[in-house]
Structure 1
């Protein structure tokens, strides 16, 4: 007996409901600025709805994770141990600076734990206990490290909490050891 098909419509979070009209407005603005864009058809406005497709939810999560990967947290620049409320607030948004971790050989193992902490702290939609981070075992990345490109690659799996069912996602975080840069590649559903 085959498993029942997964639903295509989910209850979207409020952030997605409010960000979608802004995204569409930005697309229209860019189209107007382009000389090659066809004239825009007049259409009525409708109220935002809370129903969303799996793809729109995944795309929204992908954008949030990419924004997180481009931001370095305040704790990487200064010691926040005397300021625990600042360390737990949005002022400390972002991922840790990987340059300091890569420079010290003993701290390289802390990289997966630091990525885990950043995702758990800034992505409240992750189902508790579903986040797993491990080295990628693809062909060029033996135990997560590619000797040719000098990069580390982690495979990250998680479930996003949505109604009616959680959405499983798998993506990769690749760290360029030489430059100390982190790139997130959202691969798709698990």
Structure 2
């Protein structure tokens, strides 16, 4: 029986499988076909940054009559938080929305493992910014990989930045 290396057992997104970083080369060497843990983490960060910085359809359309659309790709992204203030924001609702976006659009993070919590450390809080810690497990064989993310939400401009806080990248 052939033993599988860890990099052969990571879940690569469809986008990454279809992207050719070197189109001038017609075939890839065998050693370049693998996918490392560091590359998986890098791609998860990229995809979460895209997800959290995209405005969803529910921002401009009332989806109450179409509940199935709420969790579909038509509603990819997050509500627009621009112009809100820290004092006027519903923190549990933001935590829920971040978690729901990950549930709906990032299947490489195991659902039951996702935790989203406001980081109350004042050095991570701006005058009109909030910081959330996201913890979860990435799907991998033979064991899931732990991931710890720090997510900074700037309410003035609606910008979200996601950083790997795992200590490994």
TM-score by length of 2: 0.78
The total of aligned residue pairs comes to 163
What is the match of residue 19 of structure 1?
A: 16
Deviation at 1:99, TM superposition (A): 2.9
Gap change, CA 1:101 and 1:117, over 3 Å in 2? farther
Give, in whole Å, the separation in 2 of the partners of 1:105 and 1:130: 29
Residue 45 (structure 1) aligned to one of 27, 31, 46: 27
Give, in whole Å, the separation in 1 of the partners of 2:66 and 2:87: 25
TM-score by length of 1: 0.71
Gaps of 5+ in 2: none
Give, in whole Å, the separation in 1 of the partners of 2:86 and 2:114: 27
Gaps of 5+ in 1: 1-6, 29-42
What is the match of residue 51 of structure 2?
A: 68
Give, in whole Å, the separation in 1 of the partners of 2:122 and 2:91: 21
Deviation at 1:51, TM superposition (A): 4.0
What is the match of residue 132 of structure 1?
A: 115
8 Å CA contact retained: 1:10, 1:164: no
Q: State which structure, 1 or 2, has the greater radius of gyration over its C-alpha atoms.
A: 1
RMSD: 3.0
Is structure 2 residue 158 aligned with structure 1 residue 177? Answer: no
1:99-140 CA-partner distances (Å, limit 9, x unpaired): 376488263441111111111111112223211111225461
- After TM superposition, where is structure 1 displaced by more than 6 Å over at least 4 residues in a row? 47-50
